[in-house]
Amino acid sequence: MPTTPNPLRRNEASRRAILDAALRLCAENGYGRLTIEAIAAGAGVSKKTIYRWWPSKGAVVLDAVDDLASTVADHPYTGDLAADLRTQMAAVIALLTPASTSAVVGLIAEALHDDALGDDLRERLVRPRIDAFNRRMHQAQRDGQLAADADLDVAVDLVYGPLYHRLVFHLGMPNAEQLHTLVAHALRAFVPAPQDNDANAPPTS
């Protein structure tokens, strides 16, 4: 008696309908009003089918977001580190806005109560993007845009932290100008010294 169902017999149509319904209903009514019952009804699927394959509402949404987000929010590489970061961060901000109907924000909220979901969220959604960020930063270091001896371990926190600080305390997502300022200041921790005050300004070209 297998405790986990046989994935070979899984109905792909049901799976897709469930993930689609989850995202759609989340966008329509907000993550807070999203329920397993509504997902089942919206997908034309029985609750049992959802519980067979996912342990919780959060896990469903995580799968749905994972599908969705695998291509968005990649790190571009134009050579201008600050600009590239701003581009990528703008995509992240789009995923978090508006908070009330953002599936990602819903996942974040639920993960704060649910360690298992939090771990999944970190490993499946966040970790790959942190790795990508780090690769981009090391590339910039090799390019000479960052100090050769910069401690990049804290970079991700300094660069992305402000977004989540503002998110959790309803301080408003930064607009383009504020984003510019934030990135500039964050990168200042890693640029070669001595430097002038405008080292991270966008190229004037």
Q: Is 165 near its own copies (CB under 8 A)?
A: yes
Report the distance separating Cα 160 and Cα 165, nearest Å: 9
CB of 31 to DNA, least distance (A): 11
Backbone CA torsion sign across 32, 37, 43, 49 = positive
> What are 182's two structure tokens?
């934030």
Pick the closer one to DNA by CB: 49 or 200. 49
CA angle centred on 76, ends 71 and 81, rounded to 5° = 145
Q: Write out the two tokens for 78.
A: 């134009």
- Identify whether the C-beta of residue 58 lies closer than 8 Å to the C-beta of residue 114: yes
Does the N-terminal peptide bond of residue 5 adopt cis geometry, omega within 30 degrees of 0? no
112 binds its own copies, rule: CB under 8 A: yes
One-letter-per-residue 3-state SS of 145-162:
CCCCCCCHHHHHHHHHHH
Considering only residues 40 through 79, tell me which ones interact with DNA, judged by CB under 7 A.
Answer: 43-49, 51-53, 56-57
State in angstroms the smallest separation of the CB of 1 from DNA. 7
75 binds its own copies (CB under 8 A): no
x/- track of binding to its own copies for residues 17-56 (CB under 8 A) = -------------xxx------------------------
> Which residues lie near its own copies (CB under 8 A)?
30-32, 99-100, 105-106, 108-115, 118-119, 121-122, 126, 147, 149, 151, 153-154, 156-158, 160-171, 178, 181-182, 185-186, 188-190, 193-197
